[in-house]
Amino acid sequence: MNKDFDVKSYIKDFPVLSQGSQEKKLVYLDSAATAQKPQQVINSIKGYYEKINANPHRGAYSLSTSSTEAYDESRRVVKEFINAAHVEEIIFTKSSTEAFNLLAYSYGMNYINPGDEILISIAEHHSNLIPWQQVAKAKGATLKYMYINDNCELTSEEVKNKITKNTKLVSVTRMSNALGTIFPVKEIIEYAHEAGAVVCVDAAQSIAHTAVDVQDLNADFLVFSGHKIMAPMGIGVLYGKRELLDKMPPFLFGGDMVEYVYEQNTSYADLPFKFEGGTQNVEAAIGLKEAIYYINSIGINNIEAHVQDLLQYAHEKLKKLDIVTLYGPKEPSKKGGIISFNVKDVHPHDTSSILDSYGVAVRSGNHCAQPLMRYLNINSTCRASFYLYNTYEDVDIFVDAIKNVRRWLGYGS
Ligand SMILES: Cc1ncc(COP(=O)(O)O)c(C=O)c1O
């Protein structure tokens, strides 16, 4: 247990968590879907509209300059957060989903050729799967899958077997949103590079828990969404190595991404603006900056350790309940802060609704990972996910509520 982690001092920063009563506390266990926002982030958005609001990069007047500076500063903060080499390697998108689509349409449609192989894992979120299906179909390439083993891990053997001389692009998650499994992305990147392939890392989940150093990973591309790290919705990031981004054509055409426009032809702006057509979500970029400041003030390693403590504690308790089936690696140390489970004979949507009546918010469904569910021979699961504002008490309430699920439906126990 990390005794130095004073979770109570952080909980007070999250206004939404003060809802509920003494008898029925709001136990929010769906941070893998979206994290709650601290007051500091909420204030930064309010402050932006009260003091700065103007369209950046467009005006010569001081308000627009302030907006431009605030937006640019957000990019610098993201660069430091993931240790990118250059600020222009940070492209703001509206989400991870948009970042994958940008990559698929700009890189995939131009640099993947007939006979090439695109490699992903069976555990990918649909946003890191469907865009590659589109590329494979349009370009006559093959979409190949790496499969997980019985313990829901991706082994080195599987990675080595699936990367061939035809592999041109590998896109893989660092942490599965459906199972919590942490994937060996550094190793995957090494093998892929030896075969001459580029690699995109889906950091949508891992970004909230684990420090990212894109230079150390040697990732060619990396994607994440701000809302998973307590920033507002509507802001995402595509990181790309400058030499790769430079050779990619724009994805969205329009204002702000151009240099000169003639009647028949256009020259494009330099990075990163080439990829940021149209008015951007400046308030969300500013919220993202504030969320990163907030994480840095706590220390991402402290957050990771706290979440791991909660995960181990919850695992121990749930393992003892013979009415619960757990999915994912048996060892919590091989996972991020996610527990995927089902209660015996109960549909996950029913479990989720019953838990809600105890104030416990968990996700149920296929977690945008239908091929994974099919591979595991299940339709759906419930998913509890933990973050820095969760406590041991939350886990106790959650587990006690699970014990009551079957009774609600008329089973004896
Ligand atoms: C692993 C993973 N990748 C991608 C996404 C897509 O993120 P967004 O919906 O913010 O575009 C998610 C969202 O849950 C995710 O968990």
Whole-model pTM: value is 0.97
DSSP 271-285: TTGGG--SS--HHHH
Asked if residue 223 lies in contact with residue 50, where contact means CB atoms within 8 angstroms, the answer is no
Distances (CA, A) of 34 to 148, 234, 241, 315: 26, 12, 27, 22
The finding on whether 121 has its CB within 6 A of some atom of ligand 1 is no
**Secondary structure of the chain: what % helix, strand, coil (to 5)?**
45, 15, 40
Q: Per residue of the chain (413 residues), what is the pLDDT tens digit?
A: 666 688 989 999 999 999 877 778 999 999 999 999 999 999 999 999 999 999 998 788 999 999 999 999 999 999 999 999 999 999 999 999 999 999 999 999 999 999 999 999 999 999 999 999 999 999 999 999 999 999 999 999 999 999 999 999 999 999 999 999 999 999 999 999 999 999 999 999 999 999 999 999 999 999 999 999 999 999 999 999 999 999 999 999 999 999 999 999 999 999 999 999 999 999 999 999 999 999 999 999 999 999 999 999 999 999 999 999 999 999 999 999 999 999 999 999 999 999 999 999 999 999 999 999 999 999 999 999 999 999 999 999 999 999 999 999 988 77
pLDDT confidence of residue 3 = 63
Biggest alpha carbon distance in the chain? 75
CA of 217 to the centre of ligand 1 (A): 20
The finding on whether 96 has its CB within 6 A of some atom of ligand 1 is yes
Which of 94, 201, 205 to mutate for ligand 1's pocket (most ligand atoms within 8 Å of CB)? 205
Residue whose CA lies nearest to ligand 1 atom number 2: 204
Atom of ligand 1 nearest to the CA of 99: 11
With b meaning 16 or more CB within 10 Å and e meaning fewer, what string describes 292-327? bebbeeeebeebbebbbbbbebbbebbeeeebbebb
